């Protein structure tokens, strides 16, 4: 069974090293963040290393 890591706030720069370490160790990533453009760039960059699923957190919040 392959390990999966959920990373919230994935578009923050401070999380970059964590995401790269997980990807290099073949851990599937589920990335959640507000900035769609950054999520897409992360997915493109890390997809070479592991399986990636992304979610834009804006769509996960309820409407007020």
pTM for the whole structure? 0.74
The domain spans of the chain are 4-60
Question: Which class is 4-60 in CATH?
Answer: alpha beta
- % of the chain beyond a pLDDT of 90: 5
Q: Which residues contact 22 (CB under 8 A, 6 or more apart)?
A: 5, 7, 29, 50
Q: What is the mean pLDDT of residues 29-43?
A: 87
Q: What is the mean pLDDT of residues 34-55?
A: 87
- Of 48, 53, 64, 61, which Cα lies nearest the Cα of 4? 53
pLDDT digits (tens, 9 = 90+) for 18-31: 878 888 888 898 98
Q: In whole angstroms, give the CA distance from residue 64 to residue 28.
A: 33
Return the pLDDT at 47: 87
């Amino acid at each position: 069974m392959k390990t999966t890591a959920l990373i919230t706030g994935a578009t923050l720069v401070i999380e970059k090293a964590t995401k790269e370490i997980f990807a290099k160790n073949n851990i599937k990533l589920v990335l959640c963040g507000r900035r769609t453009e950054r999520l897409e760039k992360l997915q493109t960059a890390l997809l070479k290393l592991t399986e990636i699923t992304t979610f834009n957190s804006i769509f996960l919040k309820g409407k007020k």
